Amino acid sequence: MYIEFLFGNEMIEPILVVSLRLQKYKMKRLYVILTTMLGLMYSLSAIAQVELREEVQWTNSSGDHTPLWLNANKYGLSSLDKTNGYVRIGAFMPVERDEARRWSWGYGADVAVTEGFSSRFVVQQAYADVRWLKGVLTVGSKEQPMQLKNQLLSSGSQTFGINARPIPQVRLSLPEYWQVPGLRGWLSLKGHIAYGMATDDGWQKDFSHDMTRRTEHTLYHSKAGYVKIGPGKINVEAGLEMATQFGGKTYNMEDAYGNKVIIKNKNNLSAFWHALIPGGTDPTDGSFVNTEGNHVGSWVMRLNIDQPTWDLGIYADQFFEDHSQMFHFSYNGYGQGTEKDVHKKSRYFLYDFKDWMLGVELHLKETPWLQRIVLEYLYTKYQGGPVYHDHTANINEQISGCDNYYNHNIFTGWQHWGQVMGNPLYRSPLYNDNGEIRVLNNRFFAWHLGLSGKVVKRLDYRLLATWQKGYGCYNYLLPDPAENVSMLAEAGYRFPENSIMKGCTLKGAFSFDSGKIYGDNVGVQLTLSHRGWLNIKNK
């Protein structure tokens, strides 16, 4: 028997040599993992082909750190260090979608050896998929795409983004739309439900120097449901995305006397139930009953119009931090328990969309040099208003404001390994110099533009430009609003199939930040990647 690499062996040796130079003392561990992966692929490829992916990336910057768009929306496989890089190797067997087979299975293993990262060795993905009819059970860490948004041009989703490392979980999903029988395709459904656990305990301890609030063994729950109405050229997609952080332990919490204490959060069956159906109380709630855990979510919607020479998507993402905001779309008052309008009406239409993300995506089918245009507007300043008050015997009003997006009084907020798990325009804790694991700029509004197309055959480009004005947080107000501009110019060349570099793509990117949110930074990034299929044959 012999192994035939359809893409040839030319790329394997250089990548391993670079890896050896990058991190010599980690190569033994990498060798063991890769040997195991290849052995597994050898035994499985009799029933399916396996895709191999290799990638080498190098980033160099000047200023405070890596520019925003060289760091963000990379599933957490990125770094703020001014000089960083990695060698990444993965093997994937996708789940078959053949309707003739009632069930199928697949897997993915994706590892990286890094320099200038928070971890020297990263297991980015390690999962197994099992499909039964249209349902898929996934066990492990897997990069999941955003829903209803462009993966390369959008600034990111507010709840389920692509900015942080995947969380290991058990996930049951209907990943593709299932048409409800008898309705001639007019109604389709998809969604998922999952439970998992964060893996950044060690990072939190190191980053906080065990002095500021941190958590260990934080449990994770997510769920989402989407509906698609209309089988033709015009259809509407709408959905609800929700997630919860719960369980584990919280360290360095301060009690009423300023002493640091450890909080043991609930890990029993009721905690899992209250993550699924919001309810219960946290250990620190006392007489002011609240919902157990850190609950976040979004209402999402997209209108799709498909025409012969173009198609258009108009979408919205309305974020909420807890159940008090879940059904308050107008935000004309302080929230639950009051109807008083405390904000003056603005002449500008967009001002009425407080704490909404609005976007437009245009696809030009016959214009290669400009194929896609994405424009987004994001406003997060309101957050239910600047006042929070639980009802008491003396004052019976319940005012649910100061929702403090992506933060929580017990948990370290909607982040994993220092990167927010939603939209990266919420400034990630990784940027903080004081060791605090919380988002210090969550009240802002921003405009974001993304463009992509082809310069010539096999040469693609991508442009991102973002303007943002930040106000800090309600409990961390900036002395003056901070403005920031971040831009990215990226080009990628795919080598011809008849060349020695077939299956390879070389990308070069230039990016900069200018302003007081991310600092003044200039950086370049080079990425060489390869994809090919592995066949094992009997000779």
**pLDDT value of position 37:** 56
Evaluate if residue 483 carries a pLDDT over 70. Answer: yes
Contact 194, 171 (CB under 8 A): yes
Give the residue numbers spanning the domain of 108. 1-143+531-539
Out of 16-20, 194-198, 290-294, least confident range: 16-20
Q: How far apart are CA 238 and CA 221, in angstroms?
A: 21
* pLDDT for position 334: 44
The 10 Å CB-count burial string (b at 16+, else e) for 297-312 is bbbbbbbbeeeeeebe
pLDDT in tens, 402-443: 689 999 989 999 999 999 999 999 999 999 999 999 999 999
Question: Residue 121 falls within a domain, yes or no?
Answer: yes
Total domains present in the chain: 1
Which pLDDT tens digit goes with each residue over 46-68? Answer: 456 789 999 999 999 999 999 99
Q: Which residue has the tokens 């993992």?
A: 33
Asked whether residue 47 is domain-assigned, the answer is yes
> CA 198 to CA 247: how far, in whole Å?
11
Question: Is residue 41 one of the residues assigned to a domain?
Answer: yes
Three-state DSSP at 272 gives: helix
Report the alpha-carbon distance of residue 348 to residue 330 in Å, rounded.
15
Is the residue at 2 inside a domain? yes
Give the pLDDT band of residue 101 (cuts 50, 70, 90).
confident
Q: Give the integer Cα–Cα distance in Å for 410 and 219.
A: 13
Helix axes 27-44, 12-22, angle to 10 degrees: 150
pTM: 0.87
User: Percent of the chain having pLDDT more than 70?
Assistant: 79
Amino acid 126 reads A
- Domain presence at residue 229: no
Which pLDDT band, with edges at 50, 70 and 90, does 35 fall under? low
380 pLDDT exceeds 60? yes
Q: Specify whether the CB–CB gap between 229 and 217 falls below 8 A.
A: no
The answer to whether 319 and 295 are in contact (CB under 8 A) is: no
Residue of 434, 422, 342 lying closest to 382 (CA atoms): 342
β-pair type (103-115, 121-132): antiparallel
DSSP conformation class of 293: S
**Residue 78 falls inside a structural domain:** yes
Tokens standing for residue 44? 């499985």
Q: Which helix (H) or strand (E) holds 108?
A: strand 103-115
Is residue 315 classed as helix, strand or coil in its secondary structure? Answer: strand
In a domain, 5, yes or no: yes
8 A C-beta contact, residue 111 and residue 88: yes
Say which range, 217-221, 363-367, 472-476, has the weakest mean pLDDT.
Answer: 472-476
Beta bridge partners of 485: 467, 514
Distance of CA 427 to the CA centre of its chain: 14
How far apart CA 87 and CA 23 sit, in angstroms, is 10
Query: Is 134 contained in some domain?
Result: yes
β-pairing, 50-63 with 2-5? unpaired
pLDDT-based confidence at residue 282 (cuts at 50, 70, 90): confident
